[in-house]
C-alpha cells in the first residue's frame, strides 16, 4: 500500500506516524515544501530570537517514512505531480496542507515560517524609538477572542 501525506505540519506528521505504527508495511511518503517541521506555536520565539521554531522533519517521523521536499501542483487518479514536474503514485492520499495567510497591505504575516523570519529581519532593522503597530485579526463570534467582544 502506497500512502502519500501532503503537508508535514501537526496533522500530517501525526497522521504519517500513526499510520506507520498501525500499518508497518505501508510505504508512506510525506511531501512538504521544506525539510523542517515548523512548530507554529513557537513562531513568536523565532521572531524574538529567544528560541527555534523548527525541528528537522526526519527526526519527527518514524523510521521507514520517506520525506520528499516539494509542493503539489496537481492531483490525478492515483498520482500527484509536483511543481518541479516529478510524479508520485499513491493508493491513498492524506491532505494536510493547513491554512494560508493573506496579509493586509503593509503588514508582515507571522503565521508562517517565512513570515516569522521576515518579521525578525524587519524588527532587527528598527532603530531605537521606532514604533511597531501590532495588527490583530479575529473572527466575529469567536469564543476564544475576547479582544473582539
| pLDDT value for 134 | 62
For 69, other C-beta atoms within 10 Å of its C-beta total 15
Q: How far apart are the first and last CA of the chain?
A: 50
**CA gap 69, 83 in Å, rounded:** 11
What region does 24 belong to: left with phi over 0, alpha with psi -120 to 50, or beta?
alpha
Q: Tell me what pLDDT residue 119 has.
A: 86
Which tens digits make up the pLDDT trace of 28-53?
Answer: 999 999 999 998 888 888 888 898 88
pLDDT tens-digit profile of 91-145?
999 999 887 667 777 777 777 888 888 888 888 888 888 877 665 544 444 444 4
pLDDT category at 89 given cuts 50, 70, 90 is very high
CB atoms within 10 A of CB 132: 8
| Secondary structure letter of residue 50 according to DSSP | S
Query: What's the rounded Cα separation, in Å, for the pair 57 and 36?
Result: 5
Query: Residue 88 carries which DSSP code?
Result: E
**All 3 cell numbers of residue 48?**
524574538
pLDDT band of 13, cuts 50, 70, 90: very high
**pLDDT, tens digit (0-9, with 9 covering 90-100), for 51-85:** 888 999 999 999 999 999 999 999 998 999 999 99
pTM: 0.75
Confidence at residue 16, expressed as pLDDT on a 0 to 100 scale = 97
Position 25 confidence tier, pLDDT thresholds 50, 70, 90? very high
Please report the pLDDT score of residue 91 as a whole number.
Answer: 95
Amino acid at each position: 500500500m502506497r500512502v502519500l501525506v501532503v503537508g508535514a505540519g501537526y496533522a500530517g506528521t501525526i497522521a504519517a506516524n500513526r499510520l506507520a505504527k498501525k500499518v508497518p508495511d505501508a510505504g508512506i511518503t510525506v511531501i512538504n515544501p521544506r525539510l523542517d517541521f515548523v512548530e507554529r506555536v513557537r513562531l513568536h520565539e523565532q521572531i524574538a530570537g529567544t528560541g527555534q521554531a523548527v525541528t528537522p522533519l526526519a527526526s519527527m517521523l518514524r523510521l521507514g517514512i520517506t520525506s520528499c521536499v516539494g509542493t503539489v501542483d496537481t492531483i490525478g487518479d492515483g498520482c500527484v505531480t509536483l511543481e518541479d514536474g516529478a510524479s508520485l503514485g499513491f493508493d491513498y492520499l492524506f491532505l494536510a496542507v493547513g491554512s494560508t495567510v493573506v496579509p493586509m497591505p503593509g503588514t508582515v504575516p507571522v503565521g508562517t515560517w517565512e513570515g516569522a523570519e521576515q518579521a525578525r529581519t524587519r524588527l532587527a532593522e528598527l532603530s531605537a524609538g521606532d514604533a511597531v503597530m501590532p495588527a490583530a485579526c479575529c473572527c466575529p463570534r469567536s469564543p476564544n477572542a475576547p479582544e473582539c467582544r
